[in-house]
Amino acid sequence: MSEAEPMVLCPFNSHHVVHKSSLQRHILRCMKNYPDHEVCPYNALHRFLTKQLLQDHMMDCDSKMKNELFFANINAKVKKDAPMFTEKAGNGEIVGENWNED
């Protein structure tokens, strides 16, 4: 027999208890009724009543490290894989493929 799916509280209304897998869908519907909440930049499912609560949360957000690692990997990959065009033709145009040639 499988375990029951965990239940979580809605960040807007503690009377709303939903399955963890349904939280994102619930938040999208419920947030329309609570437009003044502050959104965590690391995880849009984290919502707070005040900027101070958000700032306190951001110091220990469990999604912060995941985001920082993700963007560090993306930035490293972009720098490594990005083509570098340094050669220029006499007229200042970048030398490379000519899409007009057949």
- pLDDT tens per residue across span 44-82: 888 888 999 999 999 999 888 887 777 777 666 655 555
Higher pLDDT, 39 or 81: 39
pLDDT higher than threshold 80 for residue 90: no
d(CA 84, CA 78): 11
List all residues 6 or more positions away from 20 whose beta carbon is below 8 Å from its beta carbon.
5, 6, 7, 8
Question: Per residue in 5-18, pLDDT tens?
Answer: 999 998 888 899 99
pTM over 0.85: no
